[in-house]
Amino acid sequence: MNLTVTHIGTATVLLEIGGLRLLTDPVFDPAPAEYRHDPVVLRSTTGPALAAHQLPEVDAVLLSHDEHPDNLDAAGRALLAGRPVLTTVSGAARLGGGALGLAPWETRTLTVNGRTLRVTGTPGEHGPVGDVTGFVMEVPGEEEALYVSGDTVHIPELDEIGRRFRIGTALLHLGAARIEAFGGGELITMDAAQAAALTTSLGARRVVPVHYTSWEHFTEGRAETTAHFAAAGLADRLHWLTPGVA
């Protein structure tokens, strides 16, 4: 698969795949910033490596969920207008416009300017904080698929992905996010141990960590992920990206 990935920040990634440019979970507000959703306060610490106006033309947006500012903020929301948006079923109802909902294992064909991509929704669990979806992308004629986890912990349903698809590259939302007001501080995104276990389950040849820095509620970073993958014999699978560099 011919794939170009640019990590812009948090879970915001520019994907060039199958001749299409896709943007995931757009977050482009300047940082630091504070977002109050009583009783929760989320604080960003670092802004995106690219500003929204520096992006090339984007064909579609993959939005794991629309309810949290570390996955969709005010500046990111402005990028949804006029573009196909694939997201959760409940999120599509809230967003309206060009938003299309994906139930788990539902597949939609995304066609823009004659270029076609198959996108399948995958299960996710983001704690008691609303629906979330991941995505598997398939280019017609290609054997390998691309997986983007969305904000989820490792649940048994995710092990089905490796049985249904040949995953070449996986973009995993990590960070071991914990928010005391949500489930008493339980994990609401994967920690490094879960990510290593999911990588084995997927059989992914390459893993690109995202969603592990730039917000106060992330409790693990690069060091923990590197250590767990090394201990699991998966160190060669990790591909760390420099934000803003394709």
Residue 228, domain CATH: 3.60.15.10
* pLDDT at res. 183: 59
In a domain, 135, yes or no: yes
> Rounded to whole angstroms, how far apart are CA atoms 229 and 197?
9
Q: What is the pTM for the complete model shown?
A: 0.96
What total number of domains does the chain contain?
1
Instruction: Please list, in sequence order, all residues whose beta carbon lies within 8 angstroms of the beta carbon of residue 57, skipping any fewer than 6 positions away.
Output: 21
* pLDDT at res. 182: 64
> Rounded to whole angstroms, how far apart are CA atoms 139 and 216?
36
> Rounded to whole angstroms, how far apart are CA atoms 94 and 96?
6
* pLDDT at res. 184: 61
* pLDDT at res. 179: 83
Q: For residue 76, what is the DSSP state?
A: H
In a domain, 142, yes or no: yes
* pLDDT at res. 10: 95
Pairing of strands 115-122, 134-138: antiparallel
- Print the domain residue range for 75: 3-234
In a domain, 108, yes or no: yes
Query: Which neighbouring-strand residues pair with 145?
Result: 167
The SS3 of residue 129 is coil
In a domain, 187, yes or no: yes
Q: Identify the segments of the chain with pLDDT beneath 50.
A: none
* pLDDT at res. 37: 80
* pLDDT at res. 130: 76
